[in-house]
């Protein structure tokens, strides 16, 4: 019985440590959200914009932020209660709960965040229909010209092809995003893509080819996903590339190659 009691106590202590650790690693998420809404409470929308991701700011200029989050409502902001706090290995996070106001009212909210320059930035805000949805996926978002996607993809592919052909992946790896490097080791990249070296396609012609992009979209977490292929022979070389902005520049976040008919 004593052993069982000690074991149960151990589990309770372990659970308490896990909860404490979870709140420690996610504590900066609600701080960013709180600072954002406090800036609006003070009618300082330019300050509030400092807590937004680059994607969010490009889609939501200050005048639109004022319309979506009116001062007359948010001057009564008094705090928050988030029952969901998540930090993901890809450098994204999520908050879900309610905003509290000094008149006693509460407003359900979901916030997604992304790390930029090692600081959490708000990348998505969703309030109920009576409130708003603010998102970098807005229809008013300026979309990058297709040519810029072509150049982005081509730079990635040429770097990867060089790595495969020369068995030298360090340059390609250094060009990837911080989030990618934190989750994928250099040796893993070598072991995966070295298998393509023996594939019989015209690798040397790829630097002079143009990619054929079949689809491109920016997901809710700010990841730009581009899918397409290069018209190599005798089979096309398909790609599925993902990018995240680091210091305002798209960097590789995910990379996948395949052979197509």
Which of 88, 109, 135 delimits the end of a domain?
A: 135
Domain identity same for 21 and 96? yes
Domain identity same for 86 and 128? yes
Domain identity same for 165 and 191? yes
Q: What are phi and psi of 231, to 5 degrees?
A: -80, 55
Domain identity same for 156 and 248? yes
pLDDT value of residue 135: 45
What is d(CA 6, CA 1) in angstroms, rounded to the nearest whole number? 9
Domain identity same for 158 and 239? yes
Q: For the chain, how long is the longest CA-to-CA vector?
A: 75
Q: CA nearest 41: which of 13, 73, 68?
A: 73
CATH code (residue 38):
3.10.450.50
User: What is the span of the domain harbouring residue 46?
Assistant: 2-135
Domain identity same for 131 and 56? yes
Domain identity same for 49 and 170? no
Number of domains, the chain: 2
Which of 135, 167, 202 delimits the end of a domain?
A: 135
Which of 135, 165, 198 delimits the end of a domain?
A: 135
Pairing of strands 133-135, 249-260: unpaired
pLDDT at 73 > cutoff 90: no
- For residue 197, being part of any structural domain is answered with yes
CATH code (residue 192):
3.10.450.630
Identify the band that residue 238 occupies on the pLDDT scale cut at 50, 70 and 90: very high
Query: What pLDDT, in 10s, does the model give residues 87-122?
Result: 876 778 899 999 998 888 888 999 998 888 888 999
Query: What pLDDT, in 10s, does the model give residues 119-178?
Result: 899 988 887 754 444 444 444 444 444 556 899 999 999 999 999 999 999 999 999 998
Identify the band that residue 58 occupies on the pLDDT scale cut at 50, 70 and 90: confident
Query: What pLDDT, in 10s, does the model give residues 191-214?
Result: 889 989 889 999 999 999 999 999
pLDDT at 51 > cutoff 70: yes
- For residue 141, being part of any structural domain is answered with no
Which structure tokens are listed for 207?
């630097």
Q: What is the pTM of this model?
A: 0.49
In contact, 232 and 212? CB cutoff 8 Å: no
């Amino acid at each position: 019985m004593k052993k069982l009691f000690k074991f149960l106590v151990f589990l309770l202590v372990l659970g308490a440590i896990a909860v404490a650790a979870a709140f420690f690693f996610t504590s900066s998420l609600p701080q960013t959200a709180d600072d954002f809404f406090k800036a609006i409470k003070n009618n300082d929308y330019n300050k509030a914009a400092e807590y937004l991701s680059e994607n969010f700011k490009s889609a939501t200029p200050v005048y639109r932020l004022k319309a979506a989050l009116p001062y007359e409502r948010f001057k009564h902001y008094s705090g928050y209660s988030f029952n969901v706090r998540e930090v993901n290995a890809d450098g994204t996070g999520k908050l879900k709960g309610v905003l509290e106001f000094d008149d006693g009212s509460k407003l359900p909210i979901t916030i997604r965040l992304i790390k930029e320059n090692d600081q959490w930035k708000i990348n998505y805000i969703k309030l109920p229909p009576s409130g708003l949805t603010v998102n970098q996926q807005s229809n008013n978002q300026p979309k990058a010209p297709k040519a810029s996607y072509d150049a982005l993809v081509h730079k990635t592919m040429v770097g990867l092809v060089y790595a495969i052909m020369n068995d030298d992946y360090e340059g390609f790896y250094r060009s990837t995003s911080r989030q990618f490097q934190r989750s994928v080791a250099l040796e893993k990249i070598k072991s995966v893509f070295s298998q393509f070296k023996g594939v019989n396609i015209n690798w040397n012609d790829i630097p002079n080819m143009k990619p054929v992009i079949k689809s491109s979209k920016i997901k809710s977490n700010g990841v730009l996903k581009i899918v397409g292929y290069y018209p190599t022979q005798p089979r096309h070389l398909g790609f599925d590339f993902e990018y995240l902005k680091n210091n305002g520049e798209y960097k590789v976040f995910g990379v996948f190659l395949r052979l197509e008919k």
